[in-house]
Amino acid sequence: MQSKIKKIRFIDLFAGAGGLSEGFIRQGFEPVAHVEMDGAACNTLRTRTAYHYLKEINRFDIYIDYLKGNIKRSNLYSLLPDKLNKSVINYAICKENNQMIFDRIDEINAGGKIDLIIGGPPCQAYSLIGRAADKNKMKDDGRNFLYVQYGEFIKKYQPDYFVFENVIGLYSAKDKEGNRYLDKLIDLYREIGYETEYTTLNASDFGVLQQRRRVILIGKKGTQKGFYPEFVKQPKHVTVDEVFKGLPKLKAGEGRMGLTPYLSGEASEYLLEKKIMNDLDFTTLHVARPQNEQDKEIYRIAIKKWMDKGERLNYNDLEDRLQTHKNRHSFVDRFKVVAPNLNASQTVVAHIAKDGHYYIHPDIEQNRSLSVREASRLQSFPDDFYFEGESEKPSRTSAFKQIGNAVPVVLAEEIAIKMKILCQKK
């Protein structure tokens, strides 16, 4: 009898909706715990945990019933073993909470080996946009020091490797004394017993239809250097219009959070290859936010300008009656079409939860911003991935926020492929 292959076990810190984790699970890694402070994101993590569990025990029909609205979320969660329910830990990672988080992980883990820690602390304090908008350049923001808390988990669990994801602003973010946080991070982790190496990856180089550059740091226990894997860029032969395939057309304010049947005959080779479309004949969360008449007029101008001339709308070129924003000098591209004929869209960020002006659907007949599901597809989440709200009632705003903050699943899987090779070499 062939022995069962030992799974590589990991903890996901600052887990968000679980985009990074999803990529690792696809490659056979086993999550021990997800730690996340946002309650809605924790519900999303629990729902996805139920998805994986029910698939494993051949009761996927129950998950389908949930997506169809036939059973309540509380009933879905009641089917999970206690260990899996407890594996989603709804605490902020900070000095005051760390021991409680450790205790929960230790209860779940029962002394097992943690092979890997993954995660990306909230990036607002390092982001170039965040620093530009803050009078103190975010130097007083406590999120600058979450790498220290991440280090506490490395110190406690002594994994063979860790993966730390963040925005490219990490390269230039400095403390009040002018020291780069990146250098401080590397020094701290070296003190704990790890060498750290890094590079910048763009999700669009690995099959994600979105420009999304991120710093991916990998740490290895010990003093060895030169272990960072080589990532080979993939050819770009698919355009952004793939994300709209199979989804019904919507006007602004239309759609539903629940079941939406696919359009027949519009299965996409790309969507199937990247596991975005699946065996189901429906999806969820294909809902568009309402827009006022002025915004829709601006959207028509922006769409026509791009589709007819391949030009972006400059806010200052609008008629005075349409220019209601006082700031006329920065963010002049605040109304931006998601170009269907390019290989990658603009970066999807959490601001999409506040308005959709930067993510205008290219179809002038629909004349709206992206639906939740379309934004999710740009982040390469599968169509059966359900983004929860705090309560049983789903929240469009919360879903957009979780999507904007996530790591694209397809990029996460590329990282997981490389990490599996490193972990198995050990």
Domains contained in the chain, CATH given: 9-234+407-425 (3.40.50.150), 240-405 (3.90.120)
- Predicted confidence at residue 134, as pLDDT, reads 41
Which residue's structure tokens are 């506490």? 152
This prediction has a pTM of 0.93
> What are the structure tokens assigned to 186, written together?
């590397």
Tens of pLDDT, residues 347-397: 999 999 999 999 999 999 999 999 999 999 999 999 999 999 999 888 999
Catalytic residues: 123
What integer pLDDT is reported at residue 251 of this predicted model?
97
> DSSP label at 64?
H
Q: Which long-range contacts (CB under 8 A, 24 or more apart) does 127-132 make?
A: 127/167, 127/169, 128/167, 128/168, 128/169, 128/172, 130/169, 131/169, 131/173
Q: Are 160 and 220 a contacting pair, CB within 8 Å?
A: yes
In tens, the pLDDT along 183-212 reads 999 999 999 999 999 999 999 999 999 999
Tell which wins on pLDDT, 5 or 45. Answer: 45
Give the per-residue pLDDT at 4: 58
Distance CA 346, CA 64 (A): 32
pLDDT tens-digit readout, 248-305: 999 999 999 999 999 977 778 999 999 999 989 999 999 999 999 999 999 999 999 9
Task: Give dist(CA 252, CA 292) in Å, integer.
Answer: 9
**Residue 3, pLDDT above cutoff 50:** no
> Per-residue DSSP letters for 69-126?
TSS-HHHHHHTS-HHHHHTEE----STTTHHHHHHHHHHHHTT----EEEE----TTT
How far apart (Å, rounded) are the C-alpha atoms in residues 48 and 64? 12
Give yes or no for residue 175 having a pLDDT over 90.
no
pLDDT digits (tens, 9 = 90+) for 16-26: 999 999 999 99
Give helix then strand counts, H and E, for the chain.
14, 11
Contact 398, 40 (CB under 8 A): yes
| Coil vs helix vs strand at 283 | strand
- Tell me the average pLDDT of the chain: 92
State pLDDT tens for residues 102-134.
999 999 999 999 999 999 998 555 544 443 444
- Burial label for 53, CB within 10 Å (0-12, 13-18, 19+), is middle
Cα torsion through 355, 361, 362, 365, rounded to 10: -110
CA angle 314–317–322, rounded 5-degree value: 105
The reported pLDDT for the residue numbered 426 is 67
Is pLDDT above 50 for 1?
Answer: no
Statement: residue 136 has pLDDT above 90: no
Stretch 12-38: mean pLDDT, rounded? 98
